Amino acid sequence: MWLGQRWALLHLLLVISDSVAEDSECRQTGYVENPQLFKDGDMMLGGLFSFHSNWIEIEENFMEKPKQLQCISLNFREFQLAQAMRFAIEEINNSSDLLPGISLGYNVYDTCGSNARSIKAALALINGNENDPATLKACTKPAQVQAIMGEASSSPSMAISTVIGPFHIPLISHYATCACLSDKSKYPSFLRTIPSDHYQSRALAHLVKHFGWTWVGAIRSNNDYGNNGMAIFTETALEVGICLEYSLPFFRTDSSEKIQKIIDIIKASTSKVIVAFLANMDLDVIIHKLSANNLTGYQWVGTEAWNFDSQTAKGDANHILDGAIGLYIPKAHVSGLAEFMLDVKPLNSSNDGLECTGHEDLTGVENIFTDMSHMPIFNNVYKGVYAVAHALHNILECKETCNNSILQQIRKVAFKTKEGDEVYFNENGDPVAKYEIINWQPRTNGHVDFVTVGVYDASLPAEKQMNLQNKSLIWAQRSLQVPVSVCSEQCPPGTRKVLQKGKPVCCHDCILCAEGEISNITDSISCVGCPPEFWSNDRRDACETKEAEFLSYEEMMGSLLTAASLFGTCLTAAVAFIFFRYRKTPLVRANNSELSFLLLFSLTLCFLCSLTFIRRPSEWSCMLRHTAFGITFVLCISCVLGKTMVVLMAFKATLPGENIMKWFGPTQQRLSVLGLTFIQVIICILWLVISPPFPSTNLKEYKDKIILECSLGSAVGFWSVLGYIGLLAVLCFIFAFLARKLPDNFNEAKFITFSMLIFCAVWITFIPAYVSSPGKFSVAVEIFAILASSFGLLICIFVPKCYIMLLKPERNTKKNMMGKGTPKSP
């Protein structure tokens, strides 16, 4: 393209310099360009087609006039396009409705695929080829053609539009798709009947994304078509999460060394999908080189330039493109066009290579010229000619003041062809973008079927633009499974993506979500924390309700503590039964039987109150457990304190002049127990009224569990209850300690001292253990302290007496109680 633009600029400079030198006379320089096909008419249309696809390179020495371009490689496809133009003109000339009484003529030039020659031919269409001295002031004459049909490629179309744009001569292309041509500030007179690559490139990116290919390679024609199209594809690919492992420019005239470098890059790549934004002639060269290097198994994604090209398919001897998928213009039919092309008639031509005698028989001939698979492109040419005819018709039919600019009239046309196709242009001179999605499906005979498997309509809402039909697709190497082409596998739910350092965003590692976090979608970039009452499952893909932890009867620890509580209750009941049976014996009577039975009753309550701790916390159980424990233990300690005081006072009362027992008789004992217990009842009532215990959930102790516990409500109330129990226990211990030197027969004080020592040791140890134990273990510690202290009191105070009553009845006498029995052996 760059070389062509230099030639165009040079040509213009030569025209300008000649004009100045000849005193404003116009004189054509260089060789005269003659049309390959021509026909006279009242109004003329121009055509630019590459009847030849290449030319002979000539070394210029810049010492003499450059030689005329020598075209080679006849291109029948372009001749078909010229025939489509002729067919449309003939049809219009025979119409009585469109441009009646006016004939259209044409001048069609061969551009040989050269940008420079395209520009020169376009200028010849505008100015004419006259070089007669009588017309040397012809610079001011009107243009020779109303519009120009062509070119097929984007680069020459850009060059031509740049030159003819200031003259407002419409250039209507049937196949130039570069999105850059939609820029009306640069190409004001350019229109086209094929959609812009702005839509095709985006459609290709969404097609690639649809099949999950996030790691692809790309090859593009190194011209305006390929470079601009690939730029839009790359931009869209990044938006939808596709990464390009490589993007390589290529042109069919590249050196062998450059082509080999492309082959080496493809060999070394890990992507299995190649997006080819290539002209069909460029692709033919690439395929030949890939075949020579045995590079097969790649999934190809193509554009309209080659995705429906039967000649490309025939040239793919090693079936490298089998299974390819891509876009093409929707199928079309122009009635009578195929017959017109095959019914060869003598042509008015300045080129012997294009002359026909009219006697050629094409029946049974199979070549590019007889191949009608590109009817959609022929239809584009057909629609372009009709757009010009409708614009001219509108100008001629105008009865009032009208804009007689053919360019403006073409932009405003809106009509239907005889086949029902709607034709109109948007503000950029582009038609609506519609594509068919084509899949190359090889047959057993080696041929390829171009199967339509879906459509893409850019005029629809984004979510409805691509519609893939339920047809079985064939992929590379005739596989029925969709190929996989990713840099990294998808991260499953329960993980998050972490980008690999120094690599594209499609290359990542999958990291398991942390505990308490989840991701429930594929390829999540982050993990989400679970709500406080929930915890992540093992797969980290869902939040589950945390396990509720509390001390229950069903678990081993709860069962053991329950058994210990019931055993203590039964043991207390057994002792009470023994005491009741021997209630009239001296031993029971001498140890204050009333306080003994009250003590046994309170111990029973102590054992039973531990059961209120073993269950799911509720409002009433939380209030009951601590208050019941506090009151029953005060009752128990009050009884022990009463017994200790009785023993101590009884000994004091034996001293001469002492009458203290009258102040500590049975009534006073009952009142003291009742009074001491009532104080604890008052403390508990105040606690329950001001700030009672209540059930709560502890979410901080364990990450994956909810601890159901009883909050104290008022810590002051709880520690007041414990403190009061502790105070009574200390007093009991002191009084029992003072009574430790009584005679052996009154030795109950020693057992009380020992029991209080155990009691105090248990509860002093309880405090740090309770504070440091988590969850249900703190409840177990409290139950253990209740049971241990209860067993301590029961065993130390009552077991020795039961031993005497059951096993040593001889010692259960009044004489022995009075200390007059057989003295103890030393």
Show the CA angle centred on residue 365, arms to residues 362 and 371, nearest 5°: 95
What is the per-residue pLDDT for 356?
60
**Is 119:10 a contact under the CB 8 Å cutoff?**
no
The pLDDT tens digits for 216-242 are 999 999 999 999 999 999 999 999 989
Tell me which long-range contacts 13-21 makes (C-beta under 8 A, separation of at least 24).
19/139
User: How much is the average pLDDT of 659-681?
Assistant: 76
The pLDDT tens digits for 494-541 are 999 999 888 888 899 999 999 999 999 988 989 999 998 899 999 999
The pLDDT of residue 307 is above 70: yes
What is the per-residue pLDDT for 6?
39
What is the per-residue pLDDT for 795?
87
For the chain, the average pLDDT equals: 84
User: How much is the average pLDDT of 761-771?
Assistant: 80
At 322, the pLDDT band (50, 70, 90 cuts) reads very high
Of the candidates 769, 742, 724, which has an alpha carbon nearest to the alpha carbon of residue 651?
A: 742
- Give the span between the Cα atoms of 322 and 442, in whole angstroms: 6
Question: What does pTM read for this prediction?
Answer: 0.66
3-state SS track over 695-712: EEEECCCCCCEEEEEEEC
The pLDDT of residue 59 is above 70: yes
- How many residues are listed for the chain in this entry? 826
Which of the listed ranges 525-529, 758-762, 767-771 does the model predict with the highest average pLDDT? 525-529
The pLDDT of residue 276 is above 50: yes
User: How much is the average pLDDT of 17-45?
Assistant: 69
What is the per-residue pLDDT for 586?
80
The pLDDT tens digits for 88-112 are 999 999 999 999 999 999 999 999 8
- Give the span between the Cα atoms of 271 and 487, in whole angstroms: 7
**Is 539:493 a contact under the CB 8 Å cutoff?**
yes
- Give the span between the Cα atoms of 167 and 151, in whole angstroms: 18
What is the per-residue pLDDT for 358?
57
DSSP-based three-state secondary structure for 219: strand
Q: Which residues pair with 276 in a beta bridge?
A: 219, 302
The pLDDT of residue 132 is above 80: no
Which of the listed ranges 130-144, 252-266, 758-772 does the model predict with the highest average pLDDT? 252-266
The pLDDT of residue 142 is above 80: no
The pLDDT tens digits for 577-621 are 988 888 888 877 766 677 888 888 988 998 998 888 888 888 888
The pLDDT of residue 489 is above 50: yes
- In DSSP notation, 634-671 reads HHHHHHHHHHHHHHHHHHHHTSTT--GGGGSSHHHHHH
- In 261-343, the DSSP E strands lie at 273-277, 299-302, 325-328
Packed helices 154-164 and 115-127: angle between N→C axes, nearest 10 degrees:
40
Structure tokens given for 212: 């999950």
**Contacts for 409 with CB less than 8 Å, ≥ 6 apart:** 391, 392, 394, 395, 403
Query: pLDDT over 70 for what percent of the chain?
Result: 86
Torsion of CA 136, 138, 144, 148, to 10 degrees: 90
The pLDDT of residue 774 is above 50: yes
DSSP-based three-state secondary structure for 547: strand
**Is 275:217 a contact under the CB 8 Å cutoff?**
yes
**Least-confidence region, from 13-17, 497-501, 814-818:** 13-17
What is the per-residue pLDDT for 354?
57
Q: Is the preceding omega at residue 151 within 30 degrees of 0, hence cis?
A: yes
What is the per-residue pLDDT for 503?
87
**Is 50:78 a contact under the CB 8 Å cutoff?**
yes
**Contacts for 5 with CB less than 8 Å, ≥ 6 apart:** 115, 159, 162
Of the candidates 736, 759, 753, 751, which has an alpha carbon nearest to the alpha carbon of residue 796?
A: 751
**Least-confidence region, from 305-314, 381-390, 759-768, 780-789:** 759-768
Distances (CA, A) of 590 to 371, 572, 594, 672, 748: 129, 20, 11, 20, 10
